[in-house]
């Protein structure tokens, strides 16, 4: 085998500058150049594509959420008597507070959209199949974390929207058989939402979930590198090999353009639709009609169905349906062992995906239409 350092042992044609000396000093001790080479020289079977940007974009969104979230904590106070006022202070008094808060708010929506795109893509490309089952499972755990992030963060401004979304969300968890009451009280820190709920959601949102997300995202990347990218589902080995390139530069270029696009999109939303709080949280909704965040609207509408009426119906809608869906997703790579990855040769997968999309779209639209009949 080649000596490890042969590639970097070129004869210098000039006196090394101070920067070069510092880099050489670090490289000698840390092996940075080799590490960088390994990071960048990852073969992408079939070549780089715009379709592959979502993973990197998600990492970017998360970093921006961490940055803006940390900044918000400089002013935010997680107590029932100050959470609302401190959030209003961020919006109205702190320079660019409205922008950072709105960026954080819309960033969470962007995260859900990209997670959704990322998962759909893996599903349609058949990339969850052997040998990438573990990658898929860790991805599902990350999906759960992203949703929990959205749910816990929603309470923190302590306005009416926050209060009622949390109240109803926790009531849904309460419908879990046997342990539901415990889970609900554990999350709320009591029988009704209050200071203890805010403290718990805050700790989840700023400590536990970020730590879990970083650990699992690291594992996700590691598993991705071990298993290697799946590549396109069409083409012979030779065709794929002929088009293969490395992660750098073409894919990184596409990724950074994707990130810039998402950044501009989130900024635009923050500018055009900055966060405006409703009244301070209190157990009297007044004229407010409680509603969850837009990406939960379809589920909200689903729970209005007669099918999910009564205690048993509620168990079906609030527990059995989401749990069954997640169990199916977890079991997917173990049920579907057919190595065929071409989505056009997997009719059940294609039809299922389309059906789910149609249900989500229809029920979201129905929820929006229903709004006007309520006033």
Nearer to other proteins, 263 or 308 (CB): 308
- Structural contact between residues 221 and 39, judged by C-beta atoms closer than 8 angstroms: no
Nearer to other proteins, 69 or 193 (CB): 193
Alpha carbons 5 and 28: distance in angstroms, whole number: 10
Q: What is the nearest approach in angstroms of other proteins to the Cβ of residue 200?
A: 8
**β 245-246/43-44 pair status:** antiparallel
- Structural contact between residues 103 and 270, judged by C-beta atoms closer than 8 angstroms: yes
Q: What is the nearest approach in angstroms of other proteins to the Cβ of residue 276?
A: 20
Q: What is the nearest approach in angstroms of other proteins to the Cβ of residue 158?
A: 12
Nearer to other proteins, 12 or 286 (CB): 286
Q: What is the nearest approach in angstroms of other proteins to the Cβ of residue 111?
A: 26
Alpha carbons 360 and 352: distance in angstroms, whole number: 12
CB-neighbour burial class of residue 103 (10 A; exposed 0-12, middle 13-18, buried 19+): buried
Nearer to other proteins, 351 or 359 (CB): 359
Residue listed under structure tokens 């900044």: 71
Q: What is the nearest approach in angstroms of other proteins to the Cβ of residue 189?
A: 5
What's the DSSP call for residue 11?
P
- Structural contact between residues 88 and 101, judged by C-beta atoms closer than 8 angstroms: no
| Binding site residues, other proteins, CB under 8 A | 1-2, 4, 6-7, 34, 37-39, 41-43, 79-81, 164, 167-168, 171-172, 174-175, 181-182, 185-186, 188-192, 194-196, 225-228, 237, 241, 244, 247, 282-285, 289-291, 300, 303-306, 308-311, 313-314, 317-318, 370, 374
Per DSSP, the three-state class of 44 is strand
Nearer to other proteins, 28 or 354 (CB): 28
């Amino acid at each position: 085998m080649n000596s490890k350092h042969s590639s970097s042992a070129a004869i210098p044609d000039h006196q090394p500058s101070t920067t070069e000396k510092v880099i050489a000093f670090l490289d000698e001790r840390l092996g940075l150049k080799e590490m960088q080479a390994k990071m960048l020289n990852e073969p992408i079977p079939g070549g780089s594509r715009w379709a592959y940007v979502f993973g990197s974009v998600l990492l970017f969104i998360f970093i921006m959420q961490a940055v803006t979230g940390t900044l918000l904590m400089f002013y935010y106070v997680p107590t029932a008597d100050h959470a609302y006022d401190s959030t209003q202070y961020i919006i109205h008094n702190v320079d660019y507070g409205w922008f950072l808060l709105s960026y954080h708010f819309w960033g969470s929506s962007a995260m859900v959209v990209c997670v959704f795109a990322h998962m759909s893509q893996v599903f349609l490309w058949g990339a969850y199949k052997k040998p990438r089952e573990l990658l898929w499972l860790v991805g599902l755990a990350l999906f759960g974390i992203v949703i929990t992030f959205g749910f816990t963060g929603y309470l923190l401004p302590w306005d009416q929207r926050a209060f009622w979304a949390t109240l109803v969300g926790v009531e849904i968890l309460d419908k879990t058989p046997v342990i539901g009451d415990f889970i609900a009280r554990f999350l709320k820190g009591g029988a009704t939402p209050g200071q203890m709920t805010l403290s718990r959601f805050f700790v989840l949102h700023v400590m536990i979930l970020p730590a879990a997300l970083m650990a699992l995202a690291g594992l996700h990347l590691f598993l991705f590198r071990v298993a290697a990218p799946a590549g396109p589902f069409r083409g012979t080995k030779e065709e794929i090999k002929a088009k293969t390139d490395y992660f750098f530069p073409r894919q990184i270029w596409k990724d950074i353009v994707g990130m810039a696009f998402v950044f501009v999109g989130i900024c635009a939303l923050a500018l055009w639709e900055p966060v405006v709080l409703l009244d301070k949280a209190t157990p009297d909704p007044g004229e407010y009609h409680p509603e969850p965040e837009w990406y939960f609207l379809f589920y909200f509408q689903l729970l209005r169905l007669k099918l999910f009426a009564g205690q048993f119906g509620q168990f079906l809608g609030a527990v059995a349906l989401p749990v069954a869906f997640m169990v199916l997703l977890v079991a997917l790579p173990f049920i579907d062992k057919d190595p065929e990855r071409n989505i056009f040769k997997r009719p059940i997968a294609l039809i299922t995906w389309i059906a789910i999309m149609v249900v989500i779209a229809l029920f979201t639209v129905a929820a929006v239409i229903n709004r006007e009949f309520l006033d």
